[in-house]
């Protein structure tokens, strides 16, 4: 146990017993405990294997390369459609965790083997994401905008594509595109 992480388990929250049980299980698998992104992160040879985190409706083990794991029990969840690599196992009670101890350890050991083997998730490139028509029209008409957008990092490009695409109505997508044109032209990301 890493004392820098203890605070996470001593917080007063509704998932306390579940978090403590998940901590015990992950440590029993021989992983190192670290604090990353404000959450307990468990590593093997300095590589991230699994993270414990909480949400309003559940707590979870997040496997960084969960997409590469076998899932014979059908318990791995893709958090959102845009998450490419990570997968979660979600819990709403300590009883669920206790019932799955051996299964959880098997998934953790498999995740360690994935790291040992040096396996990598084949990630989509930014070019493989569909640019919403409202934004594509602007890119086609404005050479400076196209150049500025292409100069952004792939992550910033994807953030804009996801944000523009998330709007259900064309009018909203157009409004979002218009609002962020100056940021793109200034080489800024969505959150910069």
Averaged pLDDT score across all residues of the chain: 92
Sheet holding 87-91, edge to edge: 32-36, 39-44, 47-54, 59-63, 87-91
pLDDT tens digits, one per residue of 66-123? 999 999 999 999 987 778 899 999 999 999 999 999 999 999 999 999 999 999 988 7
Q: What integer pLDDT is reported at residue 84 of this predicted model?
A: 83
2 to each of 24, 28, 44, 50, 105, how far by Cα in Å?
12, 14, 14, 15, 20
The pTM of this model reads: 0.73
Query: Which domains are delineated in the chain?
Result: 6-116 (3.90.1150.200), 126-185 (no CATH)
């Amino acid at each position: 146990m890493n004392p820098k992480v203890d605070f996470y388990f001593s917080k007063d929250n509704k998932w306390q017993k579940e978090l403590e049980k998940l901590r015990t299980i992950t440590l029993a698998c021989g992983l190192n405990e670290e604090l990353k992104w404000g959450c307990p992160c468990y590593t093997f040879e300095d590589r991230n294997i699994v993270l414990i985190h909480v949400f309003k409706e559940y707590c979870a083990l997040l496997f960084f390369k969960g997409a590469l794991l076998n899932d014979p029990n059908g318990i791995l969840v893709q958090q959102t459609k845009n998450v490419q690599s990570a997968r979660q196992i979600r819990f709403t009670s300590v009883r669920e965790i206790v019932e799955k101890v051996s299964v959880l350890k098997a998934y953790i050991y498999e995740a360690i083997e994935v790291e040992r083997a040096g396996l990598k998730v084949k990630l989509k490139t930014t070019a493989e994401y569909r640019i919403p028509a409202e934004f594509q029209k602007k890119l086609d008409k404005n050479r400076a905008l196209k150049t500025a957008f292409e100069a952004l990092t792939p992550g910033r490009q994807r953030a804009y594509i996801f944000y523009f695409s998330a709007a259900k109505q064309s009018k909203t997508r157009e409004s979002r595109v218009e609002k962020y044109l100056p940021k793109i032209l200034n080489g800024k990301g969505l959150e910069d």
